[in-house]
Amino acid sequence: MRAKKHQYVATVKRRELGAELRRIRERAGYLAANMAFILNWSHSSISRLENGLLKARDERVAHYLARAKATTDEFNRLVALDRYPDDGYLARPHPAGFPDGLLVVTMLDTESASFTSFAPRDIPRHLHIEPHIRTVLKKLGYEDGPALDAAVQDRLTRQPSTMREHGPFTFYVPETALLADLAVTHEQLVHLSILSSLPRCHIRLVPAGASMADLCTGFTLYRHDEHPPVLHLQLPTASLFLENAQDIAYYESQLERLAELALSRRETREWFTRKLADIERRLEHDRALIPSCDDAPTEARA
């Protein structure tokens, strides 16, 4: 009886490396078939390598990079990544509070069949609107000006679509994150209300009194039909990606706790409606207190 052929598991490190190789090949203007011819490899080897499904033999990645015209920095960085062990832990630095620019995050956001996200003190980053992003970046040290405008636009551009296929995409939103500036909160709630009506977008409110003090770091659990689950743990200036079964199991148990504590999708939509009505009354009251030009004394207008 023939032994069953072992299927190589595409770790997040291998998938990141493969995505980088594909990017460099495409920048050089080569099709996968061209690359296979140049390297004298099979077309399937190129495809599997670029999709993280093939563990390259020693120096194979270096050979690929050299023929694909990688820069010296790319060559050194990706050869080092190739040699880094697949131990279920991958760390990546990023600007404070801004993991969106990481290739791994973009890859997971756009390719995963489904994911579940929770931020203990903020709205999950996938749901941010422009005024909220601006407020968050100001708290991180950005000042009004071109740099802030560029950072806001960059975040908006990188946000994954919650209307794509597959799903569901589940977001646990803490009530305490919706107690900021009334005008900003109003716009954010309108956005959340619209998204919560989409069949693949599951938004659930975590009440302010919920006991989740031990969960002090935001995380997203990604699932894909062809790859093992990946947990993105978002720290202030770095991200950690976990794949070991015991780590995944721990965060799955935390998501079970959240599911028990959070309002249902229907209850969340009803809460949004009530909150919006309350904010609109308060905003209308505040506007009524502001004197108009017509109300100014005659002497002041003269």
- pLDDT score, position 294: 56
The one-letter amino acid code at 296 reads A
CA distances from 189 to 71, 158, 260, 271 (A): 45, 21, 23, 10
- pLDDT score, position 67: 94
Number of H helices, E strands in the chain: 12, 7
- pLDDT score, position 302: 46
| Contacts (Cβ under 8 Å, ≥6 apart) of 86 | 11, 13, 14
The one-letter amino acid code at 149 reads D
The one-letter amino acid code at 42 reads S
* Cis amide prior to 168 (ω within 30 degrees): yes
Beta strands in 175-293 (DSSP E): 201-206, 218-224, 227-234, 238-242
- pLDDT score, position 176: 87
Strands 89-93 and 238-242: antiparallel
Q: 144 in helix, strand or coil?
A: coil
- Split the chain (302 residues) into runs of 10 and give each run's mean pLDDT: 52 93 95 94 92 77 94 94 90 86 91 92 88 82 84 79 74 86 86 91 89 80 91 93 96 93 95 91 77 56 46
Residue 202 and residue 116: Cα distance in Å, rounded? 9
> Exposure of 129 by Cβ count < 10 A (0-12 exposed, 13-18 middle, 19+ buried)?
middle
17, 81 in Cβ contact below 8 A? yes
User: What are the backbone angles phi and psi of residue 265, rounded to the nearest 5°?
Assistant: -60, -45
